[in-house]
Amino acid sequence: MRWLLVLCLVFVGTTRAHADDPSLRAAKRHFDRGEKLFALGKFEEALEHYQKAYDAKPLPAFLFNIGQCHRNLNDYDAAIFSFRKYLKLEPDASNRDKVEALIEDLEQKKAEEESRKLRLVKPPRSPGEDPVTVDPPAGRPFYKKWWFWTGLAVVAGGVGVGVYASSPKGPPGTDLGHMVFDK
């Protein structure tokens, strides 16, 4: 019975110590604000508050929320980093399988985006779109490309040199002769 009383006193003392921890209070305040913003779909603002909560008290669970914000903002690298850091700091996380699946999905999306940027993969077609009548994506017009203006400058320079070289030297000739004035 005596040990139960001691255990209760220790528990109450540690609970009070956590309640008096200003960094924990600040983290909770930022976390609560981040949760509200996340629920409203304001992921950039929620991210700021989750990061401030993590700065105040670096709890691994905040990294999961930070990763979720990055995922919703399509910042795949930052999301993957946050999720991996979360799993490293919380190896026995109850949602480990879900987080690993998220990382795998994000790595796939990142690879698809990089392929699209390098034009290795054509953008997906809309359902019902006829592949025969699809025009290739319009790039920049030819007159906005460097090779067009370089070629134009070479041709203009060649014409200018040709005209200069073919023009007669000296005063223009005439059938009337020319007058010379003495000084």
**Where exactly are the structural domains of the chain?**
20-120
CATH of domain 20-120: 1.25.40.10
DSSP string, the chain: -HHHHHHHHHHHHHHHHHHT-HHHHHHHHHHHHHHHHHHTT-HHHHHHHHHHHHHHS--HHHHHHHHHHHHHTT-HHHHHHHHHHHHHH-TT-TTHHHHHHHHHHHHHHHHHHHHHHTTSSPPPPPTT--SSSPPPPP---GGGSHHHHHHHHHHHHHHHHHHHHHSPSSSPP-TT-------
pLDDT in tens, 50-75: 999 999 999 999 999 999 999 999 99
What pTM does this model have? Answer: 0.56
pLDDT tier, 163 (very low <50, low <70, confident <90, very high otherwise)? confident
Q: What is the pLDDT of residue 117?
A: 80
pLDDT in tens, 6-20: 333 333 444 444 557
pLDDT in tens, 74-130: 999 999 999 999 999 999 999 999 999 999 999 999 988 888 888 765 556 666 655
Q: What is the pLDDT of residue 21?
A: 87
